[in-house]
Amino acid sequence: MMRTSIEMNEERMCVTGAGGFLASWVVKFLLSKGYAVHATVRDPNAENCAHLKNLENAAENLHLFKADLLDYNSLYVAITACRGVFHVASPVPSAPVTNPKVELFEPALNGTCNVLKACTKAKVKRVVVVSSIGAVMLNPNWPTDQRMDELSWSDEEYCKTIEDWYCLSKTEAESKAWEYAKKNGLDLVTICPSLIIGPMLQFTVNASSLFLIKILKDGINSDQRMVDVRDVARAILLSYEKPEAEGRYICSAYMAKTQGLVDKLKTMYPKYKCPKRITEAEDQPKMNCEKLQKLGWEYITLEESLADSVKCYQEKSIFDCLAGEKSF
């Protein structure tokens, strides 16, 4: 049901990094539910914001703000007058990281800190921060016979040892967010999604979609826990709208083996040239998503997510690379 204009003004939301893969869907769902949205982007006039302006109800209820995660004042301007904030913006590298401090740690840690400080000053009702399963899974001390749940945190020293800078940045950023929230009485919820797949609203290929395409194109053996982007966006909204929501939430739907993905794709789209043989990878730790499901979260099937991903890639002439017609 659409809200009245008065209710929409009272329920004004801010989404950081609004032009990105996941954040675009969060904006879309918020607008469809009648919320007014403050969307932070690097350049409101850039072409990569066009898809946001074309969303349903965007003309009336979407307001683009030029902001940078490392610029507190720009964030505060966007967050002011908002009852809820969805901090989605965070670097996800699509290539090997050469300067972890600049590429990952500064935007992840300092950016999150700036957002939370702005939320405190603006007296925001609740903040939802998107973390990652990377802040959960690299825990060598977790019992091997037990599914990982929200009590598991990636071991920072272990992340440093194996030089997994992305997981380390997500772990440190989420940990600092919880320290800040508890110290300052901020109502915080964090969502920890696995690899996100599904159709894109934006025009450019994002890191996780590119990763999926490379797996299918090159036969890279990388068994992954996956979840559809629309289901993550719904989980984010659910964690804001449900008063009983609290703490961390693992958001992952499927444990997808590369060979299984390729086999499904061959059946669905026989014209594409997929890898024939893929070496098996080591088993990945199992995840427990019961906490999020108890909140009312459901997810679509892997087949539906793959089909919608492929359709999107076809429409944007991206998926042709699997037919050998293009390469990245």
- Catalytic center residues: 170
Report helix, strand or coil for 64. strand
Q: What is the 3-state secondary structure (H, E, C) of 116-160?
A: HHHHHHCCCCEEEEECCHHHCCCCCCCCCCCCECCCCCCCHHHHH
Pairing of strands 224-228, 254-256: antiparallel
Residue 251, H or E segment: strand 247-251
Contacts 24+ apart (CB under 8 A), 269-276: 269/310, 269/322, 271/323, 272/216, 272/319, 272/322, 272/323, 273/322, 273/323, 273/324, 274/216, 274/217, 274/219, 274/322, 275/216, 275/217, 275/218, 275/219, 276/219
Report how far residue 115's alpha carbon sits from residue 122's, in angstroms, rounded to the nearest whole number.
10
Cβ contact 238:261 at 8 Å: no
For Cα atoms 96, 97, 100, give the angle at the middle one, nearest 5 degrees: 165
